[in-house]
Amino acid sequence: MAKFRSALLAACLVVGTPLVTTACTSMPDEVSRQDIDAQSRQALNKLTSENSAARAIAAKSSAVLIFPSIVKAGLGVGGAYGEGQMRHNGAVRDYYSTFTGSWGLQAGAQQYGYAVFLMNDAAVKYVEDSDGWEIGVGPTVVLVNAGVAENLSTSTLKEDAYAFIFDQKGLMAGVSIEGTKITKLDAK
């Protein structure tokens, strides 16, 4: 099964056709679901223990979308794909995939994770009810980097969502989540 999922991921990244993208949004099997649960929990715990801004935002958030491992590759045309979950009050609410396509001057591959803290029930409902949420459309998302984190306090949290990118590894410069599509995985 792992070889199949790897081949499917590679096809999603290289080809990116609607047919392959649809295949990538099927509900993970039981073993994969357990892997996503364990990896998401570990990534979220590490992020909030090492980053005080993430810890403060997590304490005030309504829910979090956590994608512990996203693979990004490109040579002119590229893409990034990963699977994760929405957690609410410490429990898994649903499973999601994240996909970003890109083109332009790029070559290389990298792996990273990201978390999007949803700060209010309206943002959570929007994500749950949408047929795929494209970051940059809908709830306002602030990408928290070192500069933004210095100026955040629990009294200045006014946006719908705050995103953190973590554990970047590989040979590609920069990561952006603008234009990323987050889609609920189909339950079968």
Q: Which domain holds residue 10?
A: 2-184
What are the tens digits of pLDDT across the range 68-87?
999 988 877 788 999 999 99
For residue 105, what pLDDT is reported?
65
For residue 10, what pLDDT is reported?
46
- Rounded to a whole number of angstroms, the CA Rg of the chain reads 16
Give the integer Cα–Cα distance in Å for 126 and 180: 15
For residue 154, what pLDDT is reported?
54
- Provide the domain count of the chain: 1
- Segments of the chain scoring below 50 in pLDDT: 1-28, 147, 149, 188
